[in-house]
Structure 1
């Protein structure tokens, strides 16, 4: 049987147009239609075709390049430049335009804010297409590496030592410069000294920036152990892969179809203080208050959860105790002591009274203790209940009633049904973004750059889901066109 062979030198009488190389059901057409449906003015992008000077590339075309590039997992400006010559779908998307990597990188740098706002418009399109309702929102976080080495994380003391060394070296160089007479200035020794002086002064400026960063964080009530010299806004975070300079990426996902409503990149290593802020940001995107907010025990901070609960939103977040699969039953745990609200005291299982002792951590915690330690020591349960010489102490949160309410709320059968969906809803987007889009690390440095990157990646995930939910490329393109009419 004969084989088929290609011929690179075959001359075609009527060569195909670029349009003919992309089929009607090719996903690239969706990305093209999506960006065409965006309101660039709302994104903050300047559209001025009559601008004087050198002709620029159409911002909408450049935006298509970035969004579609991230759907491939291609973030590098050089990879995107290469695709414009070798990948038919990229050639079609830009209509044969070939901006170089410098132009591509410069566009990303200048339009960070616009890239951050893309997801917001995408979410609203999902709502108009009835794919998202914003009634039940799930919050979760993941650690994504920053574009910085962990070895560049240093303590405040390290920077102070280096600053002293650099100051000393600069003083030595200045003294040496003064000793050089006019004749030696014309020789290479003067040029070498001047170059070293400039380098040390630049290094001193960078060190001072790091120390100022420590000061700013301390003024906010934070005490970072280290700050990364390459990307000061990143933080050293632990993950399955070990400790690395990273960002804590927060995602708010809608229950209906696992579509992403809002994403953020923060420097805090813990999720504890994120719940209220992320839910509020998601509600601003949807334009409505959610009915239910759900997250895992990593977000279990009573003060933080109460901010959402007092608005009437049902908060489904387990406490640290409830999150344990097989919690150890303690015969003399806090739950075995009865609080007497009228007299502001606790009663122990043996009928002894624990009275108010004082407040700790400001007003956040209230301590109650047996007034006479001898009573505890004579008790038959001494040693099992406590072996502390001053007797048993119970610590109650100032918001203990709110905590108990949230625990009861979590244990409600309807809440349990919603919580069972949490893992499938929030892990799906993160899995796609990490595995399929290759978003295991950020390319751009700084928190705003990280936010822009994760916003584009989340948009790509939503577009893939929309194609599936609406039944295909043509149906989704029709939906985008209907939104513009």
Structure 2
């Protein structure tokens, strides 16, 4: 015969068990061993075999179904239901259990708090296996779309425009009613506009409540589908999104901590993310590194005070703009620490003027000396003279900038991209995660924890092999 043909009706003398269909080196066995090693009491998932009433699906099997599904980009409850019925690896993992999509969705919804703790146990397991050293941590963030439409995002300006449009329509309806009444003085009106008028008034009330909510929260916008998400800007455009934060260990690129915030930028996240990662490590790291997006001196100072080496460039260092050609650049002004003033390139003194409390900086001005200077009009055209600001903690900024320029710090910073960007690339490209399925901070943090754990398990299998990881976890 020229070909080999399969026969789905072929009978075997001895029926095989489900376990016989899954090879010993199949990745699903590693996921099974990993989840069996977790402490479900610590996660907050109750395991009570003596519970009375209608029997529930085994929580351990349900968590296995979720984590294994997320590891291969299968996240929706309906797709997980399909895999549990037809995919042999899923059938093996759950022991033949076939929960429907409602049961899967309900389990995920009720155990969001427990799902957030999966990564913490995963990271501590990696520490125990000596895969995470905790010496150097890299911090970074990425934007992931929320499960909410941009159309449901409201700003003060949008509310005002909509209220103006509603008022115009209400006025138009009332005008039409008056016109009809004048034409049909002695007749019964067949035109009913009460319903539309009522709808417009209800809509106006709804928009007013949205406006009050925005003002109460003192925010620029709010989304009515998911109030926790914010409009964020990225390379892909502006979308209702969340900012996913990650702390990655330098040794093997494993994720130590994952978090989700609603801030549009990373500027105030450095200290909080390093502290959370150190809490997982049960010890302070030696070095913490991030890009210029985290260059808030106040945040960096919090970590530097703990004796942790901070490697974060300032925005000027990151941009690498050559300003030597500009004779009036801020860098050309020399600070006199003893007299608390600046000396301009022409030798004029810029004295202390006031403190900008918002920017936490002192402002120095040249005053009358600038108006008499031969470069007036080029250096500045302000009548009060050239102004130069200096942060209140500028000494810390200068120390951190000098540290970043050192050869060792440069070597650490070069490793940043290949370590901290890899997990985001795996999650977004390999697992095709372009948006969250759950809503609210608690929900998206649970999903982020699951996705980070998926990366860690995949990375552990790459480092130890499937059978090596299984045997290591069995010890």
Q: Which residue of 2 aligns with 1:468?
A: 462
Q: Which residue of 2 aligns with 1:4?
A: 4
Distance 1:55 1:196, change over 3 A: farther
Q: Is the 8 A contact 2:367 2:383 kept in 1?
A: no
> Structure 2 matches for 1:424-435, cutoff 5 A?
424-435=418-429
SS in 2 for 1:477: helix
Of residues 440, 446, 453, the one that matches 1:452 is 446
Q: Which residue of 2 aligns with 1:246?
A: 241
Deviation (angstroms), 1:361: 3.1
The CA distance in 2 between the partners of 1:217 and 1:438, in whole Å, is 34
Q: Is the 8 A contact 2:367 2:386 kept in 1?
A: no
Q: Does 1:33 align with 2:33?
A: yes
Q: Is the 8 A contact 1:363 1:398 kept in 2?
A: no
Q: Which residue of 1 aligns with 2:275?
A: 280
Q: Is the 8 A contact 1:249 1:266 kept in 2?
A: yes
Deviation (angstroms), 1:324: 1.3
Q: Which residue of 2 aligns with 1:185?
A: none
The CA distance in 2 between the partners of 1:73 and 1:156, in whole Å, is 38
The CA distance in 1 between the partners of 2:204 and 2:36, in whole Å, is 48
How many residues align structurally? 451
The CA distance in 1 between the partners of 2:359 and 2:329, in whole Å, is 23
Deviation (angstroms), 1:348: 1.4
Q: Which residue of 2 aligns with 1:90?
A: 90
Deviation (angstroms), 1:210: 4.3
Q: Which residue of 2 aligns with 1:341?
A: 337
The CA distance in 2 between the partners of 1:94 and 1:72, in whole Å, is 16
> Structure 2 matches for 1:82-121, cutoff 5 A?
82-121=82-121
The CA distance in 1 between the partners of 2:162 and 2:342, in whole Å, is 55
Q: Which residue of 2 aligns with 1:350?
A: 346
Of residues 290, 299, 314, the one that matches 2:309 is 314
Of residues 301, 323, 326, the one that matches 2:318 is 323
Q: Deviations over 1:150-185 (max 9, x none)?
A: 111111354578789999x9xxxxxxxxxxxxxxxx
Unaligned ranges ≥5, structure 1: 170-194, 219-223
Deviation (angstroms), 1:340: 1.6
Q: Which residue of 2 aligns with 1:227?
A: 222
Deviation (angstroms), 1:388: 2.4
TM-score (norm 1): 0.87
> Structure 2 matches for 1:120-199, cutoff 5 A?
120-156=120-156, 158-159=158-159
Of residues 345, 368, 375, the one that matches 2:364 is 368
Q: Does 1:60 align with 2:55?
A: no
Q: Deviations over 1:100-155 (max 9, x none)?
A: 11100000000000111100000000000000011111011111011111111111
Displaced runs of 4 or more, over 4 A: 157-167, 195-213
The CA distance in 2 between the partners of 1:478 and 1:165, in whole Å, is 68
Q: Does 1:19 align with 2:19?
A: yes
Of residues 452, 456, 479, the one that matches 2:472 is 479
SS in 1 for 2:142: strand
Considering only aligned residues, what root-mean-square deviation do their CA atoms show, in Å?
2.6
SS in 2 for 1:120: helix
Q: Is the 8 A contact 1:321 1:327 kept in 2?
A: no
Unaligned ranges ≥5, structure 2: 170-194
Q: Is the 8 A contact 2:214 2:220 kept in 1?
A: no
The CA distance in 2 between the partners of 1:371 and 1:378, in whole Å, is 9
Q: Which residue of 1 aligns with 2:177?
A: none
SS in 2 for 1:13: coil
Distance 1:248 1:28, change over 3 A: same
SS in 2 for 1:431: helix
Deviation (angstroms), 1:387: 2.8
Deviation (angstroms), 1:397: 1.0
Q: Is the 8 A contact 1:210 1:232 kept in 2?
A: no
The CA distance in 2 between the partners of 1:412 and 1:346, in whole Å, is 27
SS in 2 for 1:253: strand
Distance 1:379 1:207, change over 3 A: closer
SS in 1 for 2:117: helix
Deviation (angstroms), 1:213: 4.4
Q: Is the 8 A contact 1:369 1:393 kept in 2?
A: yes
Distance 1:8 1:452, change over 3 A: same
